[in-house]
Structure 1
Amino acid sequence: MDEIILTKLNSIEKMLMEQNMLKKEVLTFNEAAIYLEVSHSHLYKMTSTGVVPSYKPNGKKLYFNRKELDNWLLSNRQSSLEEIDQQAADYLIKKGRVKL
């Protein structure tokens, strides 16, 4: 019984931490790793290669702007098959290769 209560409390604590993180504009390195759902080593590699936007105000600790991370996550959108089919049809109609 005690284990069930502890498990539920841990779950509630995790959800509260995640909600607080969504309210923050600036995230720490640990928060950014959780937010992006990547390991610390992967996040460090992405920051060192300049793949993900980050800030180093004192030259040591890394910080991240949550909105910039959101924009980065939503970059390089992949079109759905339906969108690709529509683009192909539009292209063929525009070039006059398909007559309706």
Structure 2
Amino acid sequence: MKFKQQILERLDYLEQLIINKNKSILTVEELVQYTGFKKSSIYHLVHYNKIPYSKPNGKYLFFDKAEIDTWLMSNKSLSEDQIKDKAIKFALRKR
């Protein structure tokens, strides 16, 4: 019985992923699935204006998927090779 429930939950999860794939605007619940963040974390980020969101009627939160993707990739950490390349370019530019 537990195994059957797990399969049904997985199928529901996959169905939601397929449905949401082409959506450009996400709700809080969809953002939870999209990012893997906890709902409370999302509300925390919204409260402190750390994440881009829209609240058109002052009640429901919506998130632009493209803005979320940009936000998720912001403050990127460079690899060691990228840092070395930047250092070499900087050193050569100074001459």
Aligned to 1:11: 10
Query: What does residue range 16-27 of structure 1 map to in structure 2 within 5 Å?
Result: 16-27=15-26
Tell me the equivalent position of 1:34: 33
Return the TM-score normalized by structure 1: 0.81
Count of aligned pairs: 95
TM-score computed with the length of structure 2 as normaliser = 0.85
Aligned equivalents of 1:39 and 1:3: distance in 2?
24
Superposed, which structure 2 residues align to 1:1-100 within 5 Å? 2-96=1-95
Identity of aligned residues (%): 27
Q: Flag the 1:4–1:42 CA change in 2: closer, same or farther, 3 A.
A: closer
Offset of 1:64 from its aligned partner?
A: 0.9
Residue 60 of structure 1 deviates from its aligned partner by 1.1
Q: Which amino acid aligns with 1:46?
A: L
Unaligned runs of 5+ in 1: none
2-side partners of 1:33 and 1:5: how far apart?
24
Q: Partners in 1 of 2:21 and 2:68 — Cα distance?
A: 12
State the SS of the aligned residue for 2:11: helix
CA RMSD across the alignment? 1.6
